Structure 1
Amino acid sequence: MAGLNCGVTLPLLGVLLLGAVRLTRGAAFEIGLPYGSGITVSISPGASPLPPGKPCYIFSRKMATSLVIKSGETKGFSFSCLNPENYFVIEILRNIDCMAGPCFFGEVQLQPPTSQLPTLNRTFIWNVQAHKRIGLELQFSLPRLRQIEPGDSCPDGVTHSISGRVDSTNVKIGTFCSNGTVSRIKMQEGVQMALHLPWFHPRNVSGFSIANRSSIKRLCIIESVFEGEGSATLMSANYPLGFPEDELMTWQFVIPPPLRASVSFLRFNVSNCERKEERVEYYIPGSTTNPEVFKLADKQPGNMAGNFNLSLQGCDQDAQNPGILRLKFEVLVQYPQHESNVSYVVDLSHERAMSLSIEPRPGRQSRRFVPGCFVCLESRTCSTNLTLTAGSRHRISFLCDDLTRLWMNAEKIFSCMDHRYCLRKSYPLQVPRDILQLPVQLHDFSWKLLVPNDRLSLALVPAQKLQQHTQERLCNASFSYLLAGAGASPGQDLYFGSFCPGGAIQQIQVKQNISVTLRTFGPSFRQEVSRQGLTVSFIPYFKEEGVFEVIPDTKSKVYLRTPNWERGLPALASVSWNISVPSDQVACLTFVKERTGLVCQTGRAFLIVQEQSSAAEEVFSLEEVLPKPSAHHHNFWVNISNCSPASGKQLDLLFQVSLSPRTVDLTVILIAVVGGGALLLFALGLIICFVKKNRKKKRNKALAVGVYNGNGNTQMPMQPKFPKAPKDIDPHVYAVIEDTMVYGHLLQGSNGSFVQPEVDTYRPFQGPVGDCPPSPPPICSRAPTLKLAPEDPCPGFSPEPESEPYTFSHPAKCSGGDGNTDVPLLHAHEAEQPGE
C-alpha cells in the first residue's frame, strides 16, 4: 500500500513542480504560421540590456535569448521573467512576391493577430516585390499620416516607416505618425511598409490597403488632402540624407474651395550637378505656363486656389563630389483674406543702396493652428519674408489674417568717399512715402552714414529738438532715433543713445561713421510722421567722439548722459556738450551722483566746465568727488574725457541742467560800485608808484635785471583779442629771467647742487573762447584739481559778479575766429582744410 502511494505521489509532485516553474516563468504562448504564408516571426532582445543579476530567457524546449518561427511552423514558448516587454521585441515580417505570381491586394490584416502575440513592442513589416513597370499604391484610412523627421517620436508611439526601391537600393520615403494629411503613397518597383506598435497599444488593424496601379515613371507620389485650414510639413526621400541622383518625386495636394494654399521652403540643399539642373515644378490650376519652374532658392508660389502638384527633380551629380540634395517644406492652407485682393506699389526705382524687408513680428508660438502671414510679389510668389531692393518698382499684396503680425525694416546707405565733393553738403533722412502707405507697421528704418577716415565728420540737425531717453525722463513719443557710431579701433564703438522729439538737443555732431535708426512704437506714428525728419551735413573733421548742442527749456529740466551708458564710455574718448543760457536766465548744472567709481589704469579722466564768456576753466578729476551744483550765467561747455579704466570699471555720468530767472541784488551792486572805486584808486596809486620807480631806475647806473622784447606783443595774455602779427613772431613770448638765475645761491643744497622747484605747465590762450569745446589737460599732467566750494544746490542763484577769478586755462587750439562767443562749433571748424 505504501509503495502504491509512493508511486502515485511522485508523478503528482512532478506535475506540481512543473506548474510552479511555469508560474514563475509567466504565461505560455503558442504561435503557428500557415505553410506558404511568407511570414516569419522573430523574438530578440530589445534596446535595453538584460538585467545582470536576474536574466530573462525564452523557454521553447530549451533556454535561449531569441526565437525564430518560420512559415509552416508552430512553436510554444514562455519567458523566465514577469516583464519581458522591457527586454524583448517581436518582429513579424511578411514577404509578398508580385513578380512570381498574382499579388495580394486589398486591406492588409495583422497576421498573426495581436491577441496571439506576447505583450512586447512589435513591428509588422510588409515587403512587396514588384516589377519596374508596376505601380503600387498604399492607401491610408482615417486617421491619415503626418510626416516627421527620422529620430522623432509620435505622441501615441505608433510609427509608420515607408521605403521604396530603385534597382537594388532601398530608398526611405519617410517616417509618419497618425493625424495628418497624407492619404496615399504611390511607388514603383516595390515597397516596404513597417508599422511599429508599442506593447501597451490595443491596435489590431493595419490601417492601410495595397492597390495595383499603372507605372508612375518616378520614385513616388505622395497625396496630401486638406479638409479645412491647416498645415503640413513634408520632406524629400532619404531626408536628411541626399535625394537619389536624377530622380523625380511628386506631391499632390487636394485643396477644397474656397481655401488657398501657400508653399514655404523651410530647409534645402543642392548637390553638384554635372548635367541637368535641380529644380521644383508646379502644376497650378488656371496657370497658362504649366509647369511653372522654380529654383530651390526662389520664392515659392502662394495664394493658390484648388488642387496643385509640386515635383522635385534631381540631376546627374558629380561622381567625385556629389553633394546633397534635400528639401523640407511647409504647405499652409487657409481662407482667403481681404488684403489678398489689394495690391500696393512700392517704387524704389529712384533709390540707391536701399532695401526693404517685410517679415513676421516675433511672437509666442502656439500649438493650435494659426493662419499664416504671407507677402506676395505680383500676387503669386508668396513667402513669410520678402525683401525689396532699390532700382525697381514692386507690386505686392498680403495673404494674412492679421497684418499686425508683420512689420517692416529698411536700410539705406549714404556713402561719401570724396571729401572735396561732400564737404558742407546736406541730405534729408526721411522715410519714402511709398513705404508709409503700406498697411504694415514700420519697425526700423536705418541710415548708415559713411565718411572717409580723418577727413569728414557728421552733423545731425533734427526737425524738432530732441530729448535723450533716460530713466529720469522717459521718451513717450511714437518714435525715436537710435544713434550708434563706429570707433577708431575695435571695442570703441559708441552707442550715443535713444532720442525722441520734445527736448533741448538742437544738434549732434559725431566724429566718424554713424548709424541712425528710426524706430517706431505702435500705429500712432502715422499721425506724428510730420514730426519725423533729420538733416545730415558733412562737416570738417574734428577729434572728439561727439558734440551735443543743447538749448534748455525754461519749463523743464534737461537730463543728459554719456554715450555707451550700459558699457561705459570707451577708453580715451572725449565728449562735449555746448549748453546755451538765455541772457535773462541762470543755469544750474547738477550731477546726479557724487562719485563715478572710476579707477584709471593709465592716464587721467577729467571733467571740464568752461564759461564761454571767459577763459576760465574748472577742471575736476573723475576719480574723485564730482562737483557740487554750480550756477552759470553765460553759455558754457561741459567736457568729459575718459582714461583707460581698470578692469571692471566704467565711466558713465548723468547730469541735469535747469534754468531759472536771473535776479539782481542792489546790495551786491553797491558793493561792486564801492569796490570798483576802491580798485580804481588803488590802480592809480600803483601807476604813480610805478612811474616814480622807473624814473629812479633811469638815474641808477646799475645793470638791468629784465630784458625788454621790442618785437613781442605787449598786450596782456588774458585779453580776448590780439592784433594780427606775422607768422614768424609768437605774440605770447615774454623774456623773463628765472628766479633761479637771480636767487640761485638760496636754492643750493648741501652738496652744491640746485634744488629744482616743482612747477606746473602754463598753456597760453590760443583763440577766441566759445568756438571750440575745452581741451582736456595732457594725460600725464600733474595739474591741480580745482573743486567748487561746498554750497547748497543753486538756492535761487547768486547774481553775476562783475569780475571772475582766473582759475585754470588751456582752451583748445582752433584756427581763426573773430572773438564772437556765439559762433557754433560747426563754423569754427570750417576754416580748417579736411585732413590737415
Structure 2
Amino acid sequence: MAGQTRGATIALLGVLLLGAVRPGAEASEIALPHGSGITVLIKPGIPTLPVKPCYIISTKGHLTTLTIKSGEKAVFSFNCRDPEKHFVIEIQKNIDCMSGPCPFGEVQLQPSTSVLPAVNRTFIWDVKAHKSIGLELQFSVPRLRQVGPGASCPDGVTYNISGRIDATVVRIGTFCSNGTVSRIKMQEGVKMALHLPWFHRRNVSGFSIANRSSIKRLCIIESVFEGEGSATLMSANYPDGFPEDELMTWQFVVPPHLRASVSFLHFNVSNCEKKEERVEYYIPGSTTNPEVFKLGDKQPGNMAGNFNLSLQGCDQDAQNPGILRLQFQVLVQHPQNESNKIYVVDLSNEQAMSLTIEPRPVKFSRRFVPGCFVCLESRTCSTNLTLTSGSKHKISFLCDDLSRLWVNAEKTISCMDHRYCPRRPYSLQVPRDILQLPVQLHDFSWKLLVPKDRLSLALVPAQKLQQHTPEKVCNTSYSYLVASTVPGQDLYFGSFCPGGSIQQIQVKQNVSVTLRTFAPSFQQEASRQGLTVSFIPYFKEEGVFTVTPDTKSKVYLRSPNWDRGLPSLTSVSWNISVPSGQVACLTFLKERTGVVCQTGRAFMIIQEQRTKAEEIFSLEDEVLPKPSFHHHSFWVNISNCSPVSGKQLDLFFWVLLTPRTMDLTVIITAIVGGGALLLFALGLIICFVRKKKKKTSKGPSVGIYNGNINTQMPMQPKKFQKGRKDSDSHVYAVIDDTMVYGHLLQDSNVSFLQPQVDTYRPFQGPTGDCPPSPPLTGSRAPTAKLTVDEPSPSFPAESESEPYTFSHPNNGNTDIPLLDTHEPTEPGE
C-alpha cells in the first residue's frame, strides 16, 4: 500500500513538473490492456527545418523515444508547443491467426485517437495466417484509390498494404480515399498501415477483415464502378519488380449499361527462362476465355459488364532477372454512337505507308474526362492506333467527342536508280478511305527520295499556290509544308496554300511535302486538293519557284528558312512571268538584307529573260534596289555566302502587275514623221536616177534607209510593244550606188567594181530557259552591271545604243542615239 502511495506521489510530482516546464501543457495518458498485442512507440520524426530541441517528459525524465507495451500505462507530455514537428507515434497490433481465431469484423482504432497526442499517427495491423487461408480487407465508402509510392493524399490519410510470400514482404500498394477499390484479398497474411495526420480527427479505421478460402495467388483487388470514371492500378512492388512466377488478379465491377477499356500506361518485362509473362482477361460472354495478351499488345476495350484481368509472371533468369512491372488504367464510360459502326481502311494496295490515329494535345483537367479509344476489330482498343500498308483494317471508335482525335499519315515515294524512275507525274493525293473516317486528318506527309546528284523533283499543284507570309497569311482549310529531308540540312522552303501565283516548285534533292489541315471543312475541299511530283534532270540550285502573278493582287514572296536565314552557300531562284500587255513592278520590303558574310560573298541577280540584261547586287554591302519595272519575264536569284552567326540572309519582296500605257501623241507624231522621211527619201532616189541617166561613172556610196520599219522617233523609246530586236528597223545596208542603179548601165561598156554588203544583226539565241548563274563567290562584282550578247568574233563589237548615220553629207545632228538610256517615270514601252 505504501508503494502504491509512493508511485502516486511520484506521478503527481511528474504532472506538477510538466506544468512547471510547460505552463498550460496537457499530459497524455496511454493504457494498453493485457493481451491486446498492441505496442505504442513515440519516436522522433523527420524535421523539415532546423528547430529548437524537444523532449518527451515522463516519470523517466527527458526522453527522445518512448515505448509502451501491452499491459503498460504511461503519462507523458512534451516540453515544446509544437511536438507535431518533432515526433511521430506508431501503434502496432500483432494478430496471430495461426495459433488462434482471427478477430474478424470491423477493425477498431486502439487506443482511440482522442487519447493520443497531437502528432502524426500510424496504425499498423500485422496479421499472420496460414498459406491456405485467404484474408479479405473490405473498405467502406469512400473506397480506395491507388497512388504511386511516395505520393501524398489530399487529406493526408494514406493506406499502405502489404502481403507475404513465406518470409518475404510484398508491397501491394499505396492507397488514398475516394477511389474504386472496395476489397483486397490476400493469402498467407497481411500488413496494413493507416497514416493519420496530427490534425485529423478521424476515429475509425475504415475497413474490416473477413475470412476467405484460399485464392491460390498473391492477391485479388476488386474495383467497383457505379458510373463513369477511371482507375489507375499497379502491379505488386511497383515500380520495383513483380515477384517471380506469381499471379495477381484485378476484378472490375462495371454496370451493364457502361463500357470499359484498358490501357497500359507503363510496363516492363523480365528475362524468362520458363513460361511466358502475359495478361489474361476473363470477359463474360466471350467464347475464347481466357483471352491472352502480351504486355506489348493492344488491350481490350469497349467491354460491357464485369471482367477480370490477371498478370502472370515467369521463372526468371537467375543471372539477369530483369523487372516485370505494370501500370494501367481502366476507363468506364457510356457507349457512343460510333461504337457500333465499323470503318474499313484498305491499305492493301499501298506501299511504304503508315497511318496513326491518336489524341490531340489537350490541356490537363482534374475533372473526369471520358476517354477516346480506337478499336481494332471492335475489341482491341487503345488511345492510339497505327495501321500499316499492305492490309485491310476494320476499326471503330469508343469516344464521346471524336474531335479529340486526329489522323497523321506518312508515305515514302522513292526512286534510287535514275534509269528506272517513272517519267509520268505521281499524284500526291490523300486516299479516300482516310477521308471517310469521322476524325480530322491533321498531317499527311510524303517523303520524296531521289538518287543524289542524278535527279531533282518538280512539284506542280492542281491550283496555283500562295506562300504564307506575315503580309498575306493563308486562311484556307489546308496548306502544304515543304522541307528538305537531306541529313544535316536544315532547309524549310515554306508553307503554301491554294489561291496564289506559284505554278511550280522545283527542289534539288530529297524533300518532304506535308499536307496539313486547319479546319473540318477540308473534308468538303479535299476533292480540289492535288499535287503532282515529277522526276526531272538534276540541277544545282536548292529550289526554283515558277511564279505567274495575278493581275489583280500583289504576290508576296520570301526566301526559304525565313525565321532562321538561308543556309550557307545555297542558291534559290524565282522565275517570274510577265504576260503580254503587262508591266511587273518588283519591290523589296526593306533596304538591306542584314547578312554579314564570314567567307564568300552573297549576291542577288535580276535578269531579263528576253534581253539577257542582268543586274548583280551585293547583298552584304549594298542597299537593295528601288522599285523597278519589267516588261518581260525575269529571274530573281539569290546566292548565299557563309554568314556570321546571327546575321543571316533573308529576302522579302512583292510583285505587282499593271497594264502597259501607250501615248497616242507619240504614235501620231511617229507616223507623220515617218511619212515625211519616206517622201524625202523617194525624192532623193528620183534625183539620182535622173543624174545617172546622164552620168555612168562611179560616185560616192549612199546609205539606203529601210522603209519597212516601226516608225519610232528617236529619244522616245518604249512606246510600242514591238522592240528594236523584234524588227528590222536597225538593219542598214551600205551599198555602192552603182549597184543600186547598175541596170541603167547595162548597155554601156563601162566596167565597175562589185561592192561589199555588210549587215548588223542582233543575237537570236534562246532566252529565259535557265536561271542566271551566280558570280564567283570570291569576286567583288560591281552593282547594276549591264551585260549584253557578245558579238561574233568576225565583226567589230557594237552596242545597241551605237548611233547609225548616213554616209552622204548631212547638215543635221548625226549623233542622236536610237536607244534612250534614261529611266522611265512610269511603266510603258
Scaled to the shorter chain, the TM-score interval is: 0.7 to 0.9
- C-alpha distance in 2, partners of 1:332/1:17? 61
Asked whether 1:167 is paired with 2:211, we answer no
Q: Among residues 770, 773, 784, which one is paired with 1:772 in the alignment?
A: 770
1:275 aligned residue: 274
CA contact (8 A) 1:423 1:456 kept: no
Secondary structure, counterpart of 1:340 in structure 2: helix
Secondary structure, counterpart of 1:675 in structure 2: coil
TM-score normalised by L of structure 2: 0.82
Q: Among residues 519, 524, 530, which one is paired with 1:522 in the alignment?
A: 519
Instruction: Note the C-alpha offset of 1:675.
Output: 2.8
RMSD in angstroms over aligned alpha carbons?
A: 2.7
Write out aligned runs for 1:246-257 (5 A): 246-257=245-256
1:648 aligned residue: 646
Pick closer, same or farther for the CA change 1:49–1:469 going to 2, 3 Å.
closer
Instruction: Note the C-alpha offset of 1:26.
Output: 2.2
Pick closer, same or farther for the CA change 1:19–1:90 going to 2, 3 Å.
closer
Q: Among residues 494, 503, 508, which one is paired with 2:505 in the alignment?
A: 508
> Given residue 569 of structure 2, which amino acid in structure 1 is its aligned partner?
L
Asked whether 1:223 is paired with 2:255, we answer no
Pick closer, same or farther for the CA change 1:152–1:124 going to 2, 3 Å.
same
Instruction: Note the C-alpha offset of 1:787.
Output: 7.8
Asked whether 1:365 is paired with 2:404, we answer no
- C-alpha distance in 2, partners of 1:683/1:114? 118
Instruction: Note the C-alpha offset of 1:18.
Output: 3.9
1:733 aligned residue: none
1:821 aligned residue: none
Pick closer, same or farther for the CA change 1:716–1:147 going to 2, 3 Å.
farther
Secondary structure, counterpart of 2:23 in structure 1: helix
Pick closer, same or farther for the CA change 1:297–1:805 going to 2, 3 Å.
farther
Instruction: Note the C-alpha offset of 1:682.
Output: 11
2:493 aligned residue: 496
Deviations 1:502-551 (A, max 9, x none): 11111110000110011111111111112100000001110000001111
- C-alpha distance in 2, partners of 1:787/1:296? 71
CA contact (8 A) 2:29 2:75 kept: yes
Deviations 1:370-415 (A, max 9, x none): 1111111110001110111101111111111111111101101001
> Given residue 627 of structure 1, which amino acid in structure 2 is its aligned partner?
P
2:614 aligned residue: 617
CA contact (8 A) 1:613 1:635 kept: yes
Secondary structure, counterpart of 2:300 in structure 1: coil
Secondary structure, counterpart of 1:365 in structure 2: coil
Q: Among residues 583, 587, 592, which one is paired with 2:589 in the alignment?
A: 592
- C-alpha distance in 2, partners of 1:304/1:143? 25
- C-alpha distance in 1, partners of 2:401/2:730? 85
Instruction: Note the C-alpha offset of 1:783.
Output: 2.2
Instruction: Note the C-alpha offset of 1:64.
Output: 1.1
Instruction: Note the C-alpha offset of 1:140.
Output: 0.4
2:764 aligned residue: 720
- C-alpha distance in 2, partners of 1:717/1:251? 96
- C-alpha distance in 2, partners of 1:20/1:59? 12
2:674 aligned residue: none
Secondary structure, counterpart of 2:772 in structure 1: coil
Write out aligned runs for 1:32-431 (5 A): 32-48=31-47, 53-422=52-421, 424-431=423-430
> Given residue 564 of structure 2, which amino acid in structure 1 is its aligned partner?
R
> Given residue 207 of structure 2, which amino acid in structure 1 is its aligned partner?
F
Instruction: Note the C-alpha offset of 1:486.
Output: 3.2
Pick closer, same or farther for the CA change 1:113–1:557 going to 2, 3 Å.
same
- C-alpha distance in 2, partners of 1:805/1:430? 52
TM-score normalised by L of structure 1: 0.82
2:714 aligned residue: 675
2:706 aligned residue: none
Q: Which has the larger radius of gyration?
A: 2
Deviations 1:635-677 (A, max 9, x none): 1111111111112111111111111111123566657834399
Pick closer, same or farther for the CA change 1:564–1:317 going to 2, 3 Å.
same
> Given residue 769 of structure 2, which amino acid in structure 1 is its aligned partner?
D
Instruction: Note the C-alpha offset of 1:348.
Output: 0.5
Q: Among residues 784, 787, 797, which one is paired with 1:786 in the alignment?
A: 784
Pick closer, same or farther for the CA change 1:804–1:67 going to 2, 3 Å.
farther
CA contact (8 A) 2:181 2:223 kept: yes
2:655 aligned residue: 657
Instruction: Note the C-alpha offset of 1:716.
Output: 8.8
Structure 1 unaligned runs (5+)? Answer: 1-10, 689-713, 722-767, 789-800, 808-836
- C-alpha distance in 1, partners of 2:104/2:260? 34
> Given residue 655 of structure 1, which amino acid in structure 2 is its aligned partner?
F
Pick closer, same or farther for the CA change 1:58–1:715 going to 2, 3 Å.
farther
> Given residue 32 of structure 1, which amino acid in structure 2 is its aligned partner?
A
Write out aligned runs for 1:626-645 (5 A): 626-645=624-643
CA contact (8 A) 2:714 2:819 kept: no
CA contact (8 A) 2:14 2:59 kept: no
CA contact (8 A) 2:28 2:115 kept: yes
Pick closer, same or farther for the CA change 1:595–1:681 going to 2, 3 Å.
closer
> Given residue 781 of structure 1, which amino acid in structure 2 is its aligned partner?
S
- C-alpha distance in 2, partners of 1:433/1:677? 61
- C-alpha distance in 2, partners of 1:345/1:177? 44
1:561 aligned residue: 558
- C-alpha distance in 2, partners of 1:715/1:272? 93
Instruction: Note the C-alpha offset of 1:50.
Output: 9.2
Pick closer, same or farther for the CA change 1:42–1:269 going to 2, 3 Å.
same
Pick closer, same or farther for the CA change 1:568–1:802 going to 2, 3 Å.
farther
- C-alpha distance in 1, partners of 2:155/2:759? 98
